[in-house]
Chain A
Amino acid sequence: MAQRPAMHIADAGLLATPRTRRDMLRLMALGGTAVFLPSMLAACSDDNDGMTGPTPGGGNTLTIDFSKGDIAVLQFAYALEQLEADFYTRVVDRFSSSNIPTAERTLLTDIRNHEIAHREFLKAALGATNGFTLTATYPNINFEDRTSVLNAARTFEDLGVAAYNGAGQYLTNAANLTIAGKIVSVEARHASAIRDLISPKTNAFSPSAFDDVFSPGKVAAAAQGFVVDKLAFANAPTAFVQGPNNNG
């Protein structure tokens, strides 16, 4: 099958500096979903009450090109880790005015640290050529309210677990699969802890004997609700092998 032309995230530097309006239009026409431009919606950000923000998917297209192989999978992980790190950073930054109790602040600060570590690791591993900056948005999250924060955290952690579990099948280098494994189990520890804060000593910490295994497309669709950039794939794999829960 012929590969359709795609602008890569790595080409963002070129796209950011169109010389003429005609160049700009030509670039934007390429592939339809494959153009990555500097954020134009940043100026629209309005986060003063923690409940609003830029429209999800209203920004520029951020394309993960799976013809890059393992690098694309790691870019996908990098996008999710940027989202998680940004979320918990906001949570911690709002402690002074939130109703989250002290013990839970320690736990959430630990998680923030882990997500930043994941983000910074992937940033370093991918390097400038394959890196990018994702812009998050939180239309329905009140960062000053414990219940709102924990419910959102549960969503992010469960999604992270399912995302890594589902991306594993696309990694071709065993070392990269191991690295994904090193991260996913920490995400699962987070998910367990967050879920237990919401529903202590129930079966909530691990609701199934098998965690979900989600396709990148399913994960991106769920993550899109918190991402300004319009997430897109190029050369996405057509085959996805389902996990035990058969819901990916």
Chain B
Amino acid sequence: MPIYSTKSAMLAADPADVLDVLQFALLLEHLEADFYTRGMAASGLIPTEDRVLFGTIRDHETTHVTALQGLITARGATPVAKPTFDYTAKGALPGFNFGATQYETFKALAMAFEDTGVRAYKGQVGRLMTEKGVLNAALAIHSVEARHAAEVRRLRGKKGWITGNSRDDLPAFTQGIYDGEDTLTQGGVAIASLPNASTFGGATGGSEAFDEPLTKEQVTAIILPFLP
């Protein structure tokens, strides 16, 4: 069982691999930063009482972009440029353009992006184990994305955590963001079969208690509709 292993089982994490993670993370942060920047700039979209909340998230995502660009530049590489994103998701959200009547869609997309961000970083940290400074930056961002996710989810009247593989009321095309979140085996331990499972709500509490990673390929499939 991996949890007992004290032998190093590090993934091959050569410098090129770390750079690949950083560029991948930067693309995601570009998406988020651009989304919130446009949302905050859109006239009549975000109600006054929610502007501090989304302004905070926008500022964080913008800071993440700057930080990742700095880490990439420091490695002698060129940071990926910000693409022109398609927030209709290739027509899945027809007509979405940050319009004044589209706040519900904006919040739904925010939830989708934040829950994706959490899973995306979680899936990459294993490739950063040889560079502790970069690992720390990724972890420090990862948990902030989780704070954002919970806040946006709760703003939408949902629980701050993910139950099973439920996308709640998000459109079907977002299901890939939640697939696998119902995992109930952790480090070889069958969570819902633990002796005291009834004291934490069994499969419901057991799935909520653990967020799950996504691979780079899975995340790429999720964000592909938003790319030009």
The answer to whether A binds B is: yes
- Residues of A in contact with B (beta carbons under 8 Å apart): 68-71, 74, 107, 110, 112-118, 120-121, 124-126, 161, 164-166, 168-169, 171-179, 181-193, 196, 201-203, 205-206, 208-213, 241-245
How many angstroms from the CA of A160 to the CA of B147 in the assembled complex?
A: 13
Q: Nearest 3 A-B pairs (CB), nearest first?
A: A69-B6, A113-B205, A175-B2
Chain B: residues with Cβ within 8 Å of the partner, total of: 73
Q: Does B63 contact A (CB under 8 A)?
A: yes
A-contacting 9-mer, from B16-24, B35-43, B191-199, B220-228: B191-199
Q: Which residues on A sit within 8 Å (CB–CB) of B149?
A: 189, 192
B8 to chain A, nearest CB (A): 5
How many angstroms from the CA of A74 to the CA of B53 in the assembled complex?
A: 34
Closest Cβ neighbor of A245 among chain B residues: B140
Contact between B209 and A183 (Cβ–Cβ < 8 Å)? yes
Q: Which residues on A sit within 8 Å (CB–CB) of B60?
A: 206, 208-209
How many angstroms from the CA of A172 to the CA of B132 in the assembled complex?
A: 11
Knowing A110-B161, A114-B205, the reply to whether A121 touches B194 (Cβ < 8 A) is yes
Q: Which residues on A sit within 8 Å (CB–CB) of B57?
A: 206
Knowing A116-B199, A188-B143, the reply to whether A174 touches B150 (Cβ < 8 A) is no
Contact between B199 and A206 (Cβ–Cβ < 8 Å)? no
Which B residues, 1 to 47, have Cβ-Cβ distances below 8 Å to chain A? 1-11
Contact between B140 and A179 (Cβ–Cβ < 8 Å)? no
Contact between A175 and B9 (Cβ–Cβ < 8 Å)? yes
Contact between B10 and A174 (Cβ–Cβ < 8 Å)? yes
Closest Cβ neighbor of B132 among chain A residues: A241
Not counting A175-B9, A189-B147, A243-B140, a sample of 12 additional A-B residue pairs whose C-beta atoms are within 8 angstroms of each other reads A114-B208, A115-B209, A117-B201, A161-B143, A165-B140, A172-B9, A176-B2, A183-B210, A205-B148, A206-B144, A213-B140, A243-B139
A6 to chain B, nearest CB (A): 16
Number of A-B contacts (CB under 8 A): 244
- Residues of B in contact with A (beta carbons under 8 Å apart): 1-11, 49-50, 52-53, 55-57, 59-60, 63-64, 67, 118, 121-122, 125-126, 129, 132-133, 135-137, 139-151, 154-155, 159-161, 186-189, 191, 194-197, 199-201, 204-206, 208-213
Partner of A185, one of B4, B6, B122, B129: B122
How many angstroms from the CA of A176 to the CA of B7 in the assembled complex?
A: 12
Contact between A121 and B9 (Cβ–Cβ < 8 Å)? no
Q: Which residues on B sit within 8 Å (CB–CB) of A191?
A: 147
Partner of B200, one of A71, A120, A188, A193: A120
Partner of B209, one of A68, A114, A177, A208: A114
Q: Which residues on A sit within 8 Å (CB–CB) of B122?
A: 178, 181-182, 185
Q: Which residues on B sit within 8 Å (CB–CB) of A107?
A: 159-160
Knowing A69-B6, A169-B135, A182-B186, the reply to whether A211 touches B160 (Cβ < 8 A) is no
Contact between A244 and B67 (Cβ–Cβ < 8 Å)? yes
Q: Which residues on B sit within 8 Å (CB–CB) of A241?
A: 132-133, 136
How many angstroms from the CA of A125 to the CA of B5 in the assembled complex?
A: 11
How many angstroms from the CA of A242 to the CA of B150 in the assembled complex?
A: 26
Q: Which residues on B sit within 8 Å (CB–CB) of A210?
A: 63, 67, 137, 140-141, 144
Q: Which residues on A sit within 8 Å (CB–CB) of B154?
A: 192-193, 196
How many angstroms from the CA of A182 to the CA of B56 in the assembled complex?
A: 24
Contact between B4 and A71 (Cβ–Cβ < 8 Å)? yes
Knowing A70-B3, A70-B5, A242-B136, the reply to whether A209 touches B209 (Cβ < 8 A) is no
How many angstroms from the CA of A121 to the CA of B187 in the assembled complex?
A: 9
Contact between A189 and B161 (Cβ–Cβ < 8 Å)? yes
A241 to chain B, nearest CB (A): 4
Contact between A189 and B136 (Cβ–Cβ < 8 Å)? no
Q: Which residues on B sit within 8 Å (CB–CB) of A118?
A: 209
B184 to chain A, nearest CB (A): 10
Closest Cβ neighbor of B149 among chain A residues: A189
Q: Which residues on A sit within 8 Å (CB–CB) of B133?
A: 241
Q: Which residues on B sit within 8 Å (CB–CB) of A172?
A: 6-10, 129
Partner of A203, one of B52, B199, B206: B52
Contact between A188 and B146 (Cβ–Cβ < 8 Å)? yes
Partner of B187, one of A179, A202, A203: A179
Knowing A110-B159, A168-B136, A209-B59, the reply to whether A182 touches B6 (Cβ < 8 A) is no
Q: Which residues on A sit within 8 Å (CB–CB) of B201?
A: 110, 113, 117
